[in-house]
Structure 1
C-alpha cells in the first residue's frame, strides 16, 4: 500500500492507508492455523481424519470471511456516509471458527464437554480480536435513498479509478512515483469525503470523480508502460507535472465546496483538461 514520502509533496502523508493495510493483513494468520488439523488428520484413523478435514475447511472459510469482514469495516469507517455491510462476515466467521474448533476437539475426545469449550472459547476470542461487524448505517440522517445511492455510486466509481492508478503505477517500478500517486489519491479522497459530508456538492464534483479520474487512470497506465520500457526523464517530468496539476485542481475544488464557494474554477480545470488530453 502507501509509503511515507518525505519530500516536497509530503505535507499530508498517507499514513492512515498504511494502518489500514496492516489491519487488513491481520486475519492472515487465520489461514495458517487450519492446516495443523489437516496435517494431523492425514496421520489419523478415518473418523479423526474426516473430522480434521472438516475442521480445516470450516476454519479456512472462517479466515476468508474474517478478511472480507475486516475489509468491509475499513471501507465503512473510511467514509462519512456509509451503509452497513449487507452480510455480517465476521459474525459468521466467528461461528464457523467455533464449530471448526469443536470438530477439531472431537478428533481426540469422545466427550463433548471439552470440544464444546474449545469452540466457545475460539468463537469468543475471534469476536474480541476482530470486533463486531458494523450493523447500522452512518451519516445518513436527513438523506433520501436517492441521495445516498448517488453519492455511494459516485464515490465507489472514484475509488475504482484510484485503484486503477495505483495498480498501473506499480508497473513503472519506481517507489517515489508510487508515493506521488498515493499522495494524489489522498487529495482526491478529501474531495470524496466532502461530497459524502454534503451530498448537494455532488453536482459540483461529479466530473472530478468520473471524467478527470478516468483520464488520470488512463494517463497513468500509458505512462507506466512507456516509462518501464524507456526510463525517459522527460516522460517522467511530464507525468509528475500532471500529478501536480491534479493535486492542485482537486484541492481547489475541495476548498471551494468546503467554503460553499461556487466561484468558477475553469482556469484550473482547463489546464487539467489540456494535460489529460496530452497524456492520452
Structure 2
C-alpha cells in the first residue's frame, strides 16, 4: 500500500502541473511547485495518520521501542548515505554546467527516474520474499529469483530507454515546452548503462538489507560518494552532461557494482 500511495501522490502532482499548464498558463513557478509536491506531502500524512488511529490503544513497552530504534537506525544511516551519493551530481552541476544543461539533465533524469521507480517498487515487493527464502535456507531458489529479476530489470531499462528515445520529442514538449531539449544519443546510451548498473547494485543492496547486513553498505557507500564527486567534477569540466554520467557510472562500477555481490556471496556461503 505504501508503494501505491507514493506512486499515486507523484501521479497526482504531475496531473496538477499539467492542468495548471493548460488552464492557468500564466501561473508562477512557485504555484506549480506547490501543486506538484502538495500531494506528495499530504497523501502519506493522511495514510500514516489513519494507520496510527488503529494502533493508538496498543500497549508497547520501552524495550520494544528500543529494539525497533536499534534496528531502524542502520537503515537510516544507509538511506542518508544513499541520498548523498544520488544528489552529488546536482551539487557538481550547480558549479560546472550551464543553466540550460542543468534543465536538460534534470528533466531527463526525472523521466528515467519515473521509469526506474517501477523497478524499485518490484524490489520492495521482493524484499519479504527474499527474507523468507533466506530464513528457510532455500539459497538455490533465492539465487534464481535474483538472476531472473536482474535480467528482467535490465531488459526493462533497455526497452524503456528505447521508448523514451523514440518519443523524446513528444515527451519533452509536454514536460519542458519552450526549452531546447536537444540531447545527443550518447546521453541516452549512458543513461541506459547507468540504470542497468543501478538494477544490479540496488538488487544486491536490497538482498543485504533483507539479511540485516548493513555494515558493508556503511563502509562502501561513502567511498562511492567520494569517487563520484571527484570523477563528476573532473569529467563535467570537459564533457558536460556526458561527463556527469561518466562519473556516476564510474562511482558505481568501482565500488558497489562488485563489492555488494562479492559480500553477498561471502555471507550466503557462510550461512548456507
The structure richer in helix per residue is 2
Of structures 1 and 2, the one with the larger relative CO (CA 8 A, separation 6+) is 2
Q: Which structure has the bigger radius of gyration?
A: 1
Q: TM-score, normalised by structure 1?
A: 0.29
